Each structure stands twice: as C-alpha cells, then as structure tokens.
Amino acid sequence: MPVDLPPPTETITPTSPAVGLLQRWRQTAERYLAQSGSQIGWAIGLASLSAIGVGMNPPLLQPVERQMQQQFWQVRGSLAPPADIVIVGIDANTLTQISGWPLDRSNYARVIDQLLGAGARGVAVDILFDVPRGPGQIAAQIDQCGSQGLGAGDQLFRQVLRQYGDRVTLATSFEVIAGDAGGALSRSRLVVPHCALAAPNTRFGSIDFITEGGQNRPTFHQLGHRALTRRRQQSDVDRMLLDDYKIKSFAQSALDAAKIAYPPVQGDDIYFYGGRGTFPTFSLADILLPDNWQSKFQSGEFFRNKLILIGMADDTQLDIVDTPLGRMAGVELHANAIATILQSRALRPIFPNTWMTAGIVFLAVLAAAAVQSQAKQPRSRFLWALGLSCAWAAAGFLLLSQASLLLPTVLPIGAIASTGAAYFGFDVARDQRNRKQLESSLKDRSRDPVVRDIINQQTDETLKQVLLEGRQQELLGARIGGGRYQTRRASTRITRCPDWRRALSDYPNSWDGWVW
C-alpha cells in the first residue's frame, strides 16, 4: 500500500549578520550603479578631486584647513592645564614697582634664586641675554667671557646661573640680518646668552616657531622643534651651531632642566589648552616683594615641584603672538607647547601617509554619495548631504580635541555637500522633464475618462491647472460651430475668423469650466 509522503519543504538557512550586511551593501551598490551616468560621474569626479587635494596638500588649501581647525579650537574652549606649569610674568605692575624696561638682571637673579631655593623643579626664562650690561661697557669688553667689567646686576645673575647650573633654561633665537642690497643678501645669526653670563652647564632653548598666515598677521600652530628641523635642513652652518650649543626647543629644554621625563614627540602641532590667561600667571613683582612672598606664596611652598616660566606678560610689549585661540603672550605660547609635550598631545595626521589619507577620503565621499542616492526625494537627498557633511565635521572636531589627530575636513565636506547639491539639481531637472512629458501626454488624451480621473487626482495645483486649461480649450473648440471655429492658446487670448463674438455669446460659460 503506497504511503503518502508530505510535500517537500524548502530549507531556509539562517544568514549571519555579516552576510546580511554584505547583501544590503550589494543592493545599495546595485541601486547606485543603476543611476544615470552623469550622477555617478559627478560623484566620482568630486571624490577624485578631494582625494588629490588631500594628497598634494597645496599651499592654497593649508590656510583654509587651519581656519577650520581654529573654529574647532574655539568651539572646544579652554581646558584645565597641567597644574605643575606656572608663569611668572613681567607685567605693567612689575615695570611700575620694580623698574622700567629692561629690568636690571639682579631682579632675574633674585627670582631664580627664590624659586629654585623654594623647591621649584626648574626655571625657564623667555628673555634673550645676548649682551652684558655694566657701567662704561664697551664693545671690546663684550667679547670677553670673564666677569671683569660686568655690572653688579650681571655679576649676581652670573653667580646664580653657576649655582643652579642645568636647572635653568635660557632663550636662544635666530635673527635675520639684512644685507646691503636691500635684504637680498640677508643672513641669519644665532643669538645665544653671552658667555660672560651663562654657566657652562646652563641649558639653551630655542624660542623660534614657524609662522603661518603671511607677514601681516603670522599665526603660530607648530611646535618649536619643527623650526629647528627646518634650520638643520636649510643650512649646514646652522646645524653645526645647534649641535655645538646643544640647543633644543624651548619647551624640551625646559622639561629637561626640570628633570621631567616626557614621551617622544610624535606630532608637530601644538595642542592649545586655551586662550590668554589659561595658565596660572603671577607678577614678578609679587615674587620680589617680601610680604607677598610670605603671605601669597607661603614663602615659596606654592612653587614646590613646579616648572616656572618667566617672560613678558605686558600688552604694551612686542612679545604678543597670534594663535588659533586669539592673541597671547609669547610665554603663554611656550606654556601650551610644554603642556603638549608633557602630556603627549602633539597633533599629528590621522594616517602617517598623506596618500593613504587621500584614499580614505575618496572612499568616504563615494560612500556618502551612495547613501544620498537611497533617498527618493530631492529634498531628502540634500538633507542627507548636509547631515553627512556635519557628521564629517563632528568627526574632525572629536579627533582633534579628544585624540590629538588631524582629519582633513575642508575638501571632504565640500565634496559631500557638492554631491548633494548636484543630486538635487539632477533630480529637479529630471522632475521638470517628467512633468513636461506628463503634461504633453495627458493633453493629447484629455477625452479619455481614465485621463480625466488622473487630472482630478493631481495634487500639484499648477500641473492640474495646466491640464484643465488644455481640456477647456478642447471642449470650447468642439462646441463652436461643429469644429468650424478653431481655438488656440496664445497667452490669455483666443484668435479666430469673423463672428467669434456671436459664437462665444452662444456659450457664455466657455471660460468658466465644466463639471465632467
């Protein structure tokens, strides 16, 4: 006896999430490739241009990218700086109570002695001491490295530097000396502390930075070691001088003098903790006044285990620089650089190779274009473009502020937004073309009941009005004289042969429409 077998059933194998994701991406790619060639070509062209721009990084692009980074810094605001970095500023109060500018070097000697004697880890002075001063000082004596002929202030300063040795960092700088031919034969000269002042083991730190933004208003973004690297590459003489004097950047020398270990510097740009006043700053006059020293600073206990920076903090002086967070004193710029190195926050590109970054940008712009293509309406596509552009900007901001990584933003954002604008334009043009075709098709078949239903169901009032006008003209022509009177639309007029007034008077409602 035959046995009834159940009908065969289809076995469905569950798909993994990864397979499902790949299938969705495949469907997205198929729909994207099904678009018109002009849209795909536009997206590929914009992605290619942005990738090439990121890879080549032309000079015209760099200031724009810096402007975007400046906006990121201003949105983030100020952060709490490291507590062990303190600034002692030469401000208006100091120049009023102590002496005018330049200060007698005995004041620097007293401040350094008090701070290091109270337990400060190191002192870095952002002042150039290239020429000794003293009564009757002459050029011949300046070239001598002995103490003979030095003034009392210089004698005390020399003594303090020899007492504390490598716990003190003094500033050095390259200055440009113009030649006789209007600067055409200009050369640079290394300015170092005079040998009559500095001790053999005093540390030297370069206060030079690479400026950006032109000569009118140069802006500082990069760490000091970048300027030294450029010097070494451009001139063998400068390289030999830097090696002979063992000069590092001012920030690195200050940390070395304070015996503070720091990781290797991996990036080139300063991580700014804030604008002016972010780091605690005290007047040099308060250090020198005994009452303030005892009451305000607990006889120097406040400065124990801290790195002290001494520099100009007066708005009337020339040591004011422009930064992404506004104008600040040069010593505050050095404080930001020291904190950047100390906390290993030097900004660096997100990928070490620029063309690798360019490839990522190319793929990201294409992916953004594919995502936009999934939207059905032109307005939705444009909103997607704006949203993706904002998402890229947010990613750049978070990487800079939280991870100290630099993500190219200007070109990718521009490419994504331009793709959205192009899609919007293509969609509007296509809709207009389809609208024209629909109008033409419906006008030609306006007697068809199905077409009349389509016209009545139109939600676009403008299109509906156009179609109704076409239907009215057709009915009017049919009513007048059994076809003897022809009508055509020419703006808002009807033209015909004689007796047109009598014909219209027979049909006074010709222009009022009909109920179908």
pLDDT tens-place string over residues 340-355: 999 999 999 999 899 9
The reported pLDDT for the residue numbered 138 is 43
Tell which of 430, 455, 484 closes a domain. Answer: 430
Same domain, 338 and 372: no
Domain edge (last residue) among 399, 430, 461:
430
Boundary residue ending a domain (400, 430, 460): 430
Residue 151 and residue 243 in one domain: yes
Where in the sequence is the domain holding 208, given as residue range(s)?
83-342
Distance of CA 281 to the CA centre of its chain: 28
Stated as kind and residue range, the H or E segment containing 329 is strand 326-329
Rounded Cα–Cα distance for residues 245 and 192 (Å): 9
Number of Cβ within a 10 Å radius of residue 130? 17
182 falls within a domain:
yes
Work out the end-to-end distance of the chain between its first and last CA atoms, rounded to an integer number of angstroms. 70
Residues 295 and 217 in one domain: yes
φ/ψ of 291, rounded to 5, equals -65, -45
For the stretch 478-487, pLDDT in tens is 555 444 444 4
Q: C-alpha distances in angstroms, 112 versus 152, 156, 163, 433, 507?
A: 16, 11, 10, 81, 109
- Domain membership flag for residue 214: yes
pLDDT score for 500: 41
Same domain (yes/no): 130, 155: yes
pTM across the whole model: 0.77
| Same domain assignment for residues 257 and 375 | no
Beta bridge partners of 172: 206
In-domain check, residue 267 = yes
Judgement on whether residues 93 and 62 belong to the same structural domain of the protein? no
Strand partners, 124: 169, 309
pLDDT score, position 373: 80
Q: 15 lies in a domain?
A: no
- Tracing tokens 């620097």 back to the chain, one arrives at 108
Q: Which of 42, 144, 125 is nearest to 365 (CA)?
A: 42
Residue 440 counted as domain residue: no
Looking at residue 497, its pLDDT comes to 41
CB-based burial of residue 194 (10 Å sphere; 0-12 exposed, 13-18 middle, 19+ buried)? buried
* Co-location of 242 and 219 in the same domain: yes
Check: CB of residue 385 under 8 Å from CB of residue 417.
yes
Q: Exposure pattern of 20-51 as b/e (b: 16+ CB <10 Å)?
A: eeeeeeeeeeeebeeeeeebbebbeebbebbb
**Is residue 24 a part of any domain in this protein?**
no
Residue 469 CB: number of other CB atoms within 10 A? 13
Whether residue 150 is found in the same domain as residue 215: yes
> Is the omega angle on the peptide bond into residue 200 within 30 degrees of 0, that is, cis?
no
Please list the pLDDT of the chain residue by residue as tens digits (516 residues).
555 555 555 544 555 666 666 666 566 555 555 555 566 777 888 899 999 999 999 988 999 999 999 999 999 999 999 999 999 999 989 988 888 888 999 999 999 999 999 999 999 999 999 887 655 444 444 456 766 678 889 999 999 999 998 999 999 999 887 655 454 555 788 999 988 888 889 999 999 999 998 767 789 999 999 999 999 999 999 999 999 999 999 999 999 999 999 999 999 999 999 999 999 999 999 999 999 999 999 999 999 999 999 999 887 666 899 999 999 999 999 999 999 999 999 999 999 899 999 999 999 999 998 888 887 777 888 889 999 999 999 999 999 999 999 999 999 999 999 888 877 776 667 667 667 766 666 666 655 666 666 666 655 555 556 555 555 555 555 555 444 444 444 333 444 444 444 444 444 444 443 333
| Residue 211 domain flag | yes
Strand partners, 328: 321
Same domain for 404 and 481, yes or no, is no
Clarify whether residues 499 and 421 are in a common domain. no
Q: CA-CA distance, 335 to 273, in Å (whole number)?
A: 9
Please report the DSSP string for 102-164 in residue order: SPPHHHHHHHHHHHHHTT-SEEEE-S---S---TT--HHHHT--SSTT--HHHHHHHHHHHHH
Q: What is the three-class DSSP state of 176?
A: strand
Check whether residue 237 and residue 374 sit in a common domain.
no
Query: In Å, how far are 30, 191, 211, 372 from 416, measured between CA atoms?
Result: 20, 50, 31, 9
Q: How many CB atoms lie within 10 A of CB 264?
A: 7
Residue 89 lies in a domain: yes
Per-residue model confidence (pLDDT) at position 22: 65
> What is the per-residue pLDDT for 214?
73
Let me know whether 421 and 500 are in one domain: no
How many helical (H) and strand (E) elements, i.e. helices and strands, does the chain have?
19, 14
Give φ, ψ of 234 to 5 degrees.
-85, -30
| CA pair distance 150, 156, nearest whole angstrom | 10
Supply φ then ψ for residue 101, to 5 degrees: -90, 135
Give how many domains the chain has, as a whole number: 3
Which tokens go with 347? 């900004």
